[in-house]
Amino acid sequence: MATKHTIRDFETHQTPTWCPGCGDFGIWTALKGAVVELGLAPHDLVVVFGIGCAGNQANFVRAYGFHGLHGRALPVAEGIALANHGLTTIVVGGDGDGYGEGLAHFIHTMRANPNITYLVHDNQLYGLTKGQASPTSMQGFHTSSTPFGNPDEPLNPLSLAIATDCGFVARGFAGDVPHLQQLIVQGIKHRGFSFIDILQPCVTFNHLNTYSWFYERIVKLDTLQHDPHNRLQAWQQATSGPDQLPIGVFYQADKPTLEDRFEQLHNGPLVEQHSSRDLSDLLTHYT
């Protein structure tokens, strides 16, 4: 009989170091709940982490893990998925990590469409380095790096993903854990690259985009008769004004995955195909 795992099975002995009230706690809880709901075991899961407050989750999740360089988590996860697509691969990063340093990787990973799920903690600043403006900071936002107000318009990661024809585009909110958990479940179930931008209040450095600020503006797409298979409608919802912030699945489409396009993977994960082969000739050739 298969072991039924609980949330505790995905926790380590390390105590989270996030600030009390940080939205990262909600995302951490939703992720653990999602993998338990899907019946996964810690050895079924690999999580690749970026740098930042979100990346600190590497210490608090019991699974195979890799802590990447700033902005470089996605290519590492893509390599893992190609080497062993029998694992469930998840990437956890932040808005500075993924939309700043890692923006090019984000675009090209969407093009490749590997079967991985990307969770972005979007607190609209660089939290770990004391609150500098990030690519999603609102125009005019005062931070330590923009003391006279952020001069730039914020990046819209949802419209970027829809324009790139990402196969699964969603947005959640760290203050609604049950809803976010279901989004993560849907993202993991989707075959291909699943992108979930998660609105995550930073209680220490972002006193503009607070929990109450989000609660006043958030609306669930399920209540708007939204069709996630309608790309134009998805674009319209993703570009709606700042006074309304839809959460839910914006866009979903079935597309061939990166793994589908490699015949070498049709007979199973590479790690299983080559585990018993003699690779000495190949290693000699490259040394």
pLDDT band at 272 (very low <50, low <70, confident <90, very high): confident
- Mean pLDDT, residues 198-211: 96
Tell me if 117 sits within 8 A of 194, measured CB to CB.
yes
Tell me if residue 225 falls in helix, strand or coil: coil
Question: What's the pLDDT at 280?
Answer: 84
Which candidate, 97, 98, 76, 77, places its Cα nearest to that of 88? 77
Indicate the DSSP class of residue 15: P
State mean pLDDT over 132-156.
Answer: 95
Q: Mean pLDDT check: name the lowest of 39-48, 67-76, 244-253.
A: 67-76
Beta strands in 50-193 (DSSP E): 64-67, 88-94, 116-122, 125-126, 132-133, 168-173
The whole-angstrom separation of Cα 178 and Cα 135 is: 28
When pLDDT is averaged across residues 230-245 and rounded to a whole number, the result is 92
Fold of 23-285: Rossmann fold (3.40.50)
Structure tokens at 160: 């970027």
Once rounded to an integer, what is the mean pLDDT over residues 5-34? Answer: 96
Question: Is this structure's pTM higher than 0.75?
Answer: yes
pLDDT of residue 1 exceeding 60, the answer is no
Return the ∠ at Cα 273 (arms to 267 and 277), rounded to 5°.
Answer: 145
Mean pLDDT of 70-93: 95
Express each pLDDT in 172-192 by its tens digit.
999 999 999 999 999 999 999
Q: Which backbone phi and psi does 75 adopt, to 5 degrees? A: -65, -30
Kindly state the average pLDDT of the residues 14-35. 96
Please compute the mean of the pLDDT values over residues 54-73 and round it to a whole number.
94
List residues bridging with 122 in a β-sheet. Answer: 199
Helices (H), the chain: 24-37, 73-83, 95-96, 103-112, 157-163, 177-189, 211-215, 231-238, 270-273, 280-285
What is the side-by-side order of every strand in the sheet holding 64-67?
64-67, 45-49, 88-94, 116-122, 194-199, 168-173, 245-252, 218-220
Tell me the C-alpha distance between 190 and 162, whole Å: 16
Q: 22: which 2 tokens?
A: 């940080």
